[in-house]
Amino acid sequence: QVHLVESGGGVVQPGRSLRLSCAASGFTFSTYGMHWVRQAPGKGLEGVAVISDDGSNKYYADAVKGRFTISRDNSKNTLYLQLNSLRPEDTAVYYCAKDHSSSCGSWGQGTLVTVSS
Amino acid sequence: DIQMTQSPSSLSASVGDRVTITCRASQSISTYLNWYQQRPGKAPKLLIYTASSLQTGVPSRFSGSGSGTEFTLTISRLQPADFATYYCQQSYGTPPWTFGQGTLVENK
């Protein structure tokens, strides 16, 4: 059974950094692409970043390009999202998801990032 | 960027009703269209991928259709657990892929 657990969220001041983690279990992590998707309070879903199974290909939404970095450690079955130069508009619940035929097939429970002074 | 527009934004329905939600893409996306359900306070859940493929474990009352720019999600007989928000997502071209704005299905 696929299990994804995000961590690392919290309250952070504008301009500061944060690193989110997503611990994966129940599947062969190294053979799947992975996604980060966020949801601002009361708003819809927004794809943030995607990484290929071996980490060689990474893709970002325009809103976070140059500020966020997606990475993975297949030896630890863990996905990461480094968030730099945070802005109030980055406030959201951040979900990691396992790819399934070019969709987000399984999701974690999410971790809340609040950017506020 | 490909824009996804869902209609309606919200609807009221009763248990047992047939419900249809439409999703339109700003350009042709073949059948690269996914549907998700999100209950309040919960993570989204994949229902349908590649326009019409039912995700494992999803009840057969859910179905998807369409290709090109117009797609539909149909719930054949609405159940109490189905009151939720539904999102479409295009997965055509370079990720991350865009979502529709969501459709809230409320209890009439």
Q: Please give the Cα distance from A95 to A112 (Å, whole number).
A: 9
**Quick one: closest CA in B to A6, which residue?**
B43
Q: Which residues of B touch A48 (CB under 8 A)?
A: 96
Q: Please give the Cα distance from A62 to B9 (Å, whole number).
A: 25
Residue B100 in contact with partner chain A when CB distance is under 8 A: yes
Q: Which residues of B touch A60 (CB under 8 A)?
A: 96
pLDDT over 90 at A71, yes or no = yes
Q: Please give the Cα distance from A52 to A32 (Å, whole number).
A: 7
Q: Closest to B43 (Cβ–Cβ): which among A44, A105, A108?
A: A108
Sign of CA dihedral A53, A57, A61, A63: positive
| pLDDT digit string, tens, across residues B51-99 | 999 999 999 999 999 999 999 999 999 999 999 999 999 999 899 999 9
Q: Identify the CA nearest to B6 among candidates A15, B19, A117.
A: B19
| pLDDT digit string, tens, across residues A74-111 | 999 999 999 999 999 999 999 999 999 999 999 999 99
Asked, as a colleague might, if the bond just before B8 is cis with ω within 30 of 0, I would say yes
Q: What pLDDT was estimated at residue B93? A: 85
| pLDDT digit string, tens, across residues B9-63 | 999 999 999 999 999 999 999 999 999 999 999 999 999 999 999 999 999 999 9
Look up residue B87 and give its two tokens.
Answer: 């999102």
Alpha carbon of A76: minimum distance to chain B alpha carbons (Å): 24
Q: Closest to A50 (Cβ–Cβ): which among B43, B44, B95?
A: B95
Q: What pLDDT was estimated at residue B23? A: 98
**Quick one: closest CA in B to A44, which residue?**
B101
